[in-house]
A and B are shown apart, each in its own frame.
Chain A
Amino acid sequence: KAGVTQTPRYLIKTRGQQVTLSCSPISGHRSVSWYQQTPGQGLQFLFEYFSETQRNKGNFPGRFSGRQFSNSRSEMNVSTLELGDSALYLCASSPRGGSTNEKLFFGSGTQLSVL
């Protein structure tokens, strides 16, 4: 089985622009979650989608949004980019989500640099 695929791998944007990141989960996985990783704040949960519905949301401003399609693929969007949005954005998938025992499978991430 192919792992979690994130595209693009690297992205450079300027302040004020918007960006869309893509994630294809492992085949058969219905839950997709997004995390932001920075040297200062570590790994922080952004949101989780299951069956095209946002099930959980972290403490990020409304500029961060996401969606999930019927094939479980997910996108996240950041509008009006700020310098502090520079980070590695990680997508993780799991078969069902909603269970605290479920293993998360992470992609290699998209490295976003905001200039």
Chain B
Amino acid sequence: QQQVKQSPQSLIVQKGGISIINCAYENTAFDYFPWYQQFPGKGPALLIAIRPDVSEKKEGRFTISFNKSAKQFSLHIMDSQPGDSATYFCAASRRGSGSRLTFGEGTQLTVNP
């Protein structure tokens, strides 16, 4: 059962543009929503994370927007750079689940120079 749906599957953006990746979840028990970035040949690395008591969190060029009522959250990458080209995964977990993350399908982002 896929509990976190991610879109789009792939995204091409010009340098300096805004990249937007969306995720939707089903399980209302989820209370932690991280985004991971993965480069080829590497494991995922945490980019930014949010909890449902806030609607937005910003770290540098990366912003998470969270809509609890719609059960949706999104990642915005401002001023996208070629070095941002990677696969991005949204994820979710619920309290007490330890390190058990439910991941979205992933979005392959390409930023053209």
For chains A and B in complex, what number of residue pairs have CB atoms within 8 angstroms? 68
Contacts A100-B93, A100-B94 given; indicate if A45 touches B101 (C-beta within 8 A). yes
The complex places the Cα of A33 from the Cα of B103 at a distance, in Å, of 14
- B25 touches A (CB below 8 Å): no
- A4 touches B (CB below 8 Å): yes
Chain B, interface size: which category? 20 to 34
Most A Cβ at <10 Å: residue of B43, B44, B45, B91? B43
Please, what's the 1-or-0 string for A88-104, where 1 marks a CB less than 8 Å from any CB in chain B? 00101010011111111
Cβ-neighbour of A106 out of B43, B93, B106 (below 8 A): B43
Please indicate the chain A residues that have their CB under 8 angstroms from the CB of B28 in the complex.
Answer: none
Asked if B46 and A56 sit within 8 Å, CB to CB, the answer is no
Chain A: residues with Cβ within 8 Å of the partner, total of 27
- A42 touches B (CB below 8 Å): yes
The complex places the Cα of A33 from the Cα of B98 at a distance, in Å, of 9
- B105 touches A (CB below 8 Å): yes
Cβ-neighbour of A56 out of B42, B51, B89, B98 (below 8 A): B98
Asked if B43 and A108 sit within 8 Å, CB to CB, the answer is yes
Quote the shortest CB–CB distance from B56 to chain A (angstroms). 18
Asked if B43 and A100 sit within 8 Å, CB to CB, the answer is no
Please indicate the chain B residues that have their CB under 8 angstroms from the CB of A103 in the complex.
Answer: 34, 46, 49
Please indicate the chain A residues that have their CB under 8 angstroms from the CB of B93 in the complex.
Answer: 100
The complex places the Cα of A90 from the Cα of B99 at a distance, in Å, of 13
Contacts A31-B98, A98-B96 given; indicate if A106 touches B44 (C-beta within 8 A). yes
Please indicate the chain A residues that have their CB under 8 angstroms from the CB of B100 in the complex.
Answer: 33, 45, 48, 56, 58
- A43 touches B (CB below 8 Å): yes
Please indicate the chain B residues that have their CB under 8 angstroms from the CB of A107 in the complex.
Answer: 43
Asked if A43 and B44 sit within 8 Å, CB to CB, the answer is yes
Most B Cβ at <10 Å: residue of A50, A101, A109? A101
Q: List 9 A-B contacts (CB under 8 A).
A: A33-B99, A43-B103, A45-B99, A45-B101, A48-B100, A103-B34, A104-B99, A106-B43, A108-B42
- Which residues from chain B sit less than 8 Å from chain A, CB to CB? 31-32, 34, 36, 41-46, 49, 51, 89, 91, 93-106
